[in-house]
Amino acid sequence: MGKKTIAVIFGGASSEHEISIKSARTIIANMDESKYTILPVFITTDGRWLLYDGSKDNLNPVSWEKYATSAILSPDTSHKGLLRLVGDKFKLIQIDAVFPVLHGKNGEDGTIQGLFELAGIPYVGSGVLGSSVAMCKAFTNMIAEETGINQVDFLVATKSEMEADMDALLKSIRYKIGYPCFVKPSNAGSSVGVSMAKDKKSLQKALEEAVLHDDLIVVEKRAVGRELECSVLGNEKAIASGVGEITFQREFYCYDAKYDCEGSQTIVPADVPAEIVKEIQEQSLKIFHGLNCKGLARVDFFLSEDGQVLFNEINTMPGFTNISMYPMLWHEQGMTTADIVDRLIELALEGRDDAGE
């Protein structure tokens, strides 16, 4: 493979903006500049696209404003690249592939993937369908149910139901799911807007919080047990990593527990029986293919107190920070972060291939 020009797009108008920046720093730091011409493209929280010209070792907001110029990805397939604004003219910079290091809305939900498809440019990760369905917890749970994957009991609610008759919705959740339960925006990441409800009052408050982030809400029965995760790499013939465990001191694995709480730990490999590891690997690949995912994903599970493996959720652009489970699980398999980045770019350029080859 000759030297390729890769646009690494990060930031974005998402509640996970800061995590995206941290992930992009890790990925860019692990891209071999003898293999790649790296074009860091920062999307501000208000939606501006900035092509960065400064040092790759100094990716911070001050530098972006100082060393960046406006640039957009052209949807014209004859361009296959970025249009940089120079004065009152645009300069075309052709690219071979895009690495969208974008978490959450407007990055992991199929929206920007649609732009890449229109532009005819290869990109890392799942396509429009896989990204949008996997981002939506309600549809993910429905597909998992149809596929025969074991998961906690759940109920889908809408903003219109809440506005029409909140009392009826509260009663329905009480009888169908019970307390305690988790209330989640269907389209949000990093546990943003997620609350645990223990009674009617806290349930109503949780619903009102979740609907601030999405019109579609998922309510799930609380699973008591351990939180386990598995990484997937590849396209049609994807492979699954070993299993890691998340432990934390908060009541549940909320945003602060993931990124700010010293009491949270990532354990790789998890101390679980071999048959549990095998089941999680099989279920990870099953949901990965069932949702038409590509490239990479992290799949999260509960291991209940009675030994049941319960699917929790899937993340099609998992974090790449220094505490992120996705790369750590592959490190355990002997891959470096640079190896993972190389393989993901190869998969994007090849389109369809076996990650194990």
CATH label of the domain that carries residue 195: 3.30.1490.20
> What is the average pLDDT value for the chain, to the nearest integer?
90
Angle at 204 between CA 16 and CA 132, to 5 degrees: 35
The answer on 58 and 115 residing in a single domain is yes
Residue 352's pLDDT is what? Answer: 42
The answer on 275 and 192 residing in a single domain is no
- In three-state secondary structure terms, 282 is helix
pLDDT per residue as tens digits for the range 35-86: 999 999 999 989 999 998 866 766 665 566 677 899 999 999 999 999 999 8
The percent of residues in the chain predicted with pLDDT above 70, rounded, is 89
As a whole number of Å, the end-to-end CA separation of the chain is 15
The answer on 332 and 244 residing in a single domain is yes
**Which residue intervals of the chain are DSSP H helices?**
17-29, 61-67, 111-119, 128-135, 137-147, 159-164, 166-176, 200-210, 255-259, 274-290, 325-332, 337-350
- Of the pLDDT bands very low, low, confident and very high (cuts 50, 70, 90), residue 356 is very low
pLDDT above 70: residue 30: yes
Residue 166 within a domain: yes
The answer on 321 and 228 residing in a single domain is yes
Residue 187's pLDDT is what? Answer: 86
Spatial strand order in the sheet of 239-247: 265-267, 239-247, 225-234, 295-304, 309-315
Q: How far is CA 154 from CA 99, 137, 138, 188, 345, in A?
A: 34, 10, 9, 17, 36
Is residue 301 within 8 Å of residue 280, measured between CB atoms?
A: yes
The answer on 312 and 326 residing in a single domain is yes
How many domains does the chain divide into?
A: 3
Closest by CA position to 21, among listed 4, 45, 5: 45
- Of the pLDDT bands very low, low, confident and very high (cuts 50, 70, 90), residue 353 is very low
pLDDT above 90: residue 15: no
Residue 177 within a domain: yes
Residue 180's pLDDT is what? Answer: 95
The answer on 96 and 27 residing in a single domain is yes
pLDDT per residue as tens digits for the range 191-212: 678 999 999 999 999 999 999 9
Q: For residue 185, is the peptide bond before it cis, meaning its omega torsion is within 30 degrees of 0?
A: no
The answer on 287 and 146 residing in a single domain is yes
Q: Which residue among 194, 221, 248 closes a domain? A: 221
Tell me the mean pLDDT in the region 238-252: 84
> What CA–CA distance (Å, rounded) separates 311 from 283?
8
Residue 22 within a domain: yes
The answer on 164 and 119 residing in a single domain is no
pLDDT above 50: residue 164: yes
Flag the least confident range among 13-22, 82-91, 179-188, 259-268. Answer: 259-268
The answer on 215 and 180 residing in a single domain is yes
Residue 254's pLDDT is what? Answer: 45
Closest by CA position to 325, among listed 24, 57, 11, 23: 23
pLDDT above 90: residue 142: yes
Residue 314 within a domain: yes
Its domain, for residue 196, covers 154-221
Q: DSSP for 107-138?
A: TSSSHHHHHHHHHT--BSS--HHHHHHHH-HH
Residue 334 within a domain: yes
Residue 190's pLDDT is what? Answer: 52
Residue 111 within a domain: yes
- Of the pLDDT bands very low, low, confident and very high (cuts 50, 70, 90), residue 266 is very high
Which amino acid makes up residue 76?
D
pLDDT per residue as tens digits for the range 305-351: 999 999 999 999 999 988 899 999 999 999 999 999 999 999 999 86
Q: What is the CATH number of the domain that holds 324?
A: 3.30.470.20
The answer on 28 and 45 residing in a single domain is yes
